[in-house]
């Protein structure tokens, strides 16, 4: 066993992050590419590039990476564990936002980290890496239990270093709600794009709600000004409100050259905290809000999580077909399993599945109720379509025999699939 998977931290579209214990009895975080992307060479190269990039960056507010590895043809990144929660998770419990000093300190730490990633001499020959994150949003900023801010997920970052596998291209990457106008237009990537995204994050931390913008240059500034004026800021000092509003305005300018850069954001936040004698208490805030999230994560065993089969290879050889089929049967108990083709594709991307769970459904279809402990649910036309589409991936005499049952089915698509499979 290489790792013992302890808990699932997060499971997204492209990857799953878990907490694990290695052979040295050390806790680590592991980011695994989801099975449906294993044939996507670009996604694999981005995962490797993320590990290579973060191994070059040494900053207290950027998650550290130990390396990128591959086991059973599955690539994954091993990182330092962050005993914390994302800002996205925290905002669910903060409908009115958070204290000004705490919000400013989170943005200050994030800006300092991104400024270092852009300008610090961390390259192979002492040159700057010129990193642009390109996906700054609440879910990619973590707050640890000790109050430390960590920027994560550099999978779509723009950067320069030797050995980079994937080509850096200027395209619309990241969450659209946080993207700068020039990014949505496919313009050149610049650090100010991350500053614009961070303005959205700051507004959300201060108010508890996302910022609404217009991409039209005429309406953009006026729409933001209206929101800033009505901002339910947790601060009674009028002068403080004006300073914070000016900071937001500078970070969210429509033209990137008019925006503050990361260093200016850090300097201005330091000045605001000093001028108004504000003291943040991120450790105290984390003790109250992050602790609850961590307790919830650690109370659930990874083996009980829906993403467990995507992580099982970390503990040993890929699971046998019976284990995969058992999970597939559980998935098919949902009456609406057939409605989401993408979700079905993700399930079928796991190695080792067989046609048995699907043929079991066909065996139940049309049988009289007295042959079951409970009355069976007849299969809909959409379910039959999905089942026959899946069986087409495992063609065999058994599949042919099942398909022949539906040669006279009233649905033309079902008949066509059945005829195609019966012709084998």
Helix 191-207 with 100-119: angle, nearest 10 deg = 170
Question: Which of 105-119, 135-149, 352-366 is predicted with the least confidence, judged by mean pLDDT?
Answer: 352-366
Per-residue pLDDT, 1: 55
Average pLDDT over residues 345-362: 82
CA 195 – CA 111 distance, rounded (Å): 8
In this structure, the dihedral spanned by the alpha carbons of residues 105, 106, 107 and 113, taken in order and rounded to 10 degrees, is 100
The answer on pLDDT for 22 being more than 80 is yes
CA 172 – CA 409 distance, rounded (Å): 45
Residue 268 — pLDDT band, cuts 50, 70, 90?
A: very high
User: 66 phi and psi, to 5 degrees?
Assistant: -90, -30
Question: Which of 63-77, 312-326, 333-347 is predicted with the least confidence, judged by mean pLDDT?
Answer: 312-326
In a 13 Å sphere around the CA of 200, the CA atoms on its Cβ side amount to 24
Residue 373 — pLDDT band, cuts 50, 70, 90?
A: very low
More confident residue, 236 or 100: 100
The answer on pLDDT for 163 being more than 60 is no
Per-residue pLDDT, 319: 60
Say which of 89, 102, 115, 135 is annotated catalytic.
135
Per-residue pLDDT, 171: 45
Per-residue pLDDT, 232: 75
Q: Do 318 and 141 contact (CB within 8 A), yes or no?
A: no
Q: Rounded mean pLDDT of the chain?
A: 86
184-191 long-range contacts, CB within 8 A, separation 24+: 184/215, 189/132, 189/134, 189/158, 190/132, 190/256, 191/114, 191/115, 191/118, 191/132, 191/261, 191/262
Using CA atoms, how far residue 163 sits from 114, 134, 191, 253, 268, in Å, is: 22, 21, 22, 35, 37
Residue 422 — pLDDT band, cuts 50, 70, 90?
A: confident
Using CA atoms, how far residue 343 sits from 39, 272, 318, in Å, is: 17, 47, 21
- Beta-carbon contacts of 306 under 8 Å, excluding residues fewer than 6 positions away, are 11
CB-based burial, 307-330: b 16+ in 10 Å, e otherwise = bbbbbbbbbeebbeeeebbebbee
Per-residue pLDDT, 238: 84
Average pLDDT over residues 380-385: 91
How many percent of the chain have pLDDT more than 90? 46
Average pLDDT over residues 254-268: 96
Strand partners, 75: 70
Per-residue pLDDT, 322: 67
- Beta-carbon contacts of 118 under 8 Å, excluding residues fewer than 6 positions away, are 128, 129, 130, 131, 132, 191, 262
User: 211 phi and psi, to 5 degrees?
Assistant: -85, 140
The answer on pLDDT for 100 being more than 90 is yes
Walk me through the domains of the chain, giving residue ranges and CATH numbers: 83-290 (1.10.510.10), 319-422 (no CATH)
Question: Which of 169-183, 191-205, 333-347 is predicted with the least confidence, judged by mean pLDDT?
Answer: 169-183
- The top-scoring range by mean pLDDT among 60-64, 163-167, 365-369, 395-399 is 60-64
- The top-scoring range by mean pLDDT among 183-187, 201-205, 211-215, 392-396 is 201-205
Per-residue pLDDT, 169: 46
Catalytic residue at 270? no
Average pLDDT over residues 93-106: 93
CA 402 – CA 70 distance, rounded (Å): 39
- The top-scoring range by mean pLDDT among 6-20, 160-174, 177-191 is 6-20
């Amino acid at each position: 066993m290489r790792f013992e998977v302890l808990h699932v931290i997060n499971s997204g579209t492209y990857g799953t992050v878990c907490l694990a214990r290695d052979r040295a009895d050390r806790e680590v975080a592991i980011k695994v590419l989801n099975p449906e992307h294993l044939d996507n060479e670009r996604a694999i190269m981005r995962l490797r590039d993320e590990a290579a990039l973060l191994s070059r960056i040494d900053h207290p507010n950027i998650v550290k990476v130990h390396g990128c590895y591959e086991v059973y043809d599955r690539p994954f990144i091993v990182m330092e564990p962050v005993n914390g929660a994302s800002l996205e998770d925290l905002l669910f419990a903060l409908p009115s936002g958070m204290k000004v000093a705490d919000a400013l300190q989170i943005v200050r730490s994030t800006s300092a980290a991104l400024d270092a990633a852009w300008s610090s001499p961390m390259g192979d020959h002492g040159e700057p890496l010129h990193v642009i994150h390109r996906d700054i949003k609440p879910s990619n900023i973590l707050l640890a239990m000790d109050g430390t801010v960590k920027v994560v997920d550099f999978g779509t970052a723009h950067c320069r270093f030797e050995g980079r596998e994937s080509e850096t291209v200027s395209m619309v990457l990241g969450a659209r709600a946080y993207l700068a106008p020039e990014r949505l237009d496919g313009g050149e990537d610049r650090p100010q794009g991350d500053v614009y995204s961070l303005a959205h994050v700051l507004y959300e931390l201060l108010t508890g709600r996302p910022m609404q913008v217009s991409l039209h240059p005429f309406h953009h500034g006026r729409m933001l000004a209206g929101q800033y004026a009505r901002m339910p800021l947790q601060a009674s000092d009028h002068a403080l409100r004006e300073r914070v509003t000016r900071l937001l305005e500078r970070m969210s300018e429509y033209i990137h050259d008019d925006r503050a850069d990361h260093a200016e954001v850090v300097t201005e936040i330091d000045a605001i905290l000093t001028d108004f004698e504000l003291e943040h208490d991120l450790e105290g805030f984390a003790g109250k809000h992050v602790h609850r999230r961590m307790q919830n994560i650690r109370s659930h065993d990874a083996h009980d999580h829906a993403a467990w089969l995507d992580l099982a290879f970390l503990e040993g050889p890929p699971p046998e077909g019976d284990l995969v089929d058992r999970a597939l049967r559980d998935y098919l108990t949902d009456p609406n399993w057939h409605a989401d083709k993408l979700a079905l594709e993700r399930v079928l991307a796991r190695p080792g599945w067989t046609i048995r769970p699907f043929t079991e459904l066909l065996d139940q279809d049309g049988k009289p109720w007295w042959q079951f402990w409970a009355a069976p649910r007849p299969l809909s036309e959409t379910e039959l379509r999905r089942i026959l589409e899946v069986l087409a991936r495992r063609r065999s005499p058994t599949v042919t025999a099942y398909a022949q049952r539906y040669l006279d089915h009233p649905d033309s698509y079902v008949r066509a699939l059945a005829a195609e499979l019966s012709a084998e």
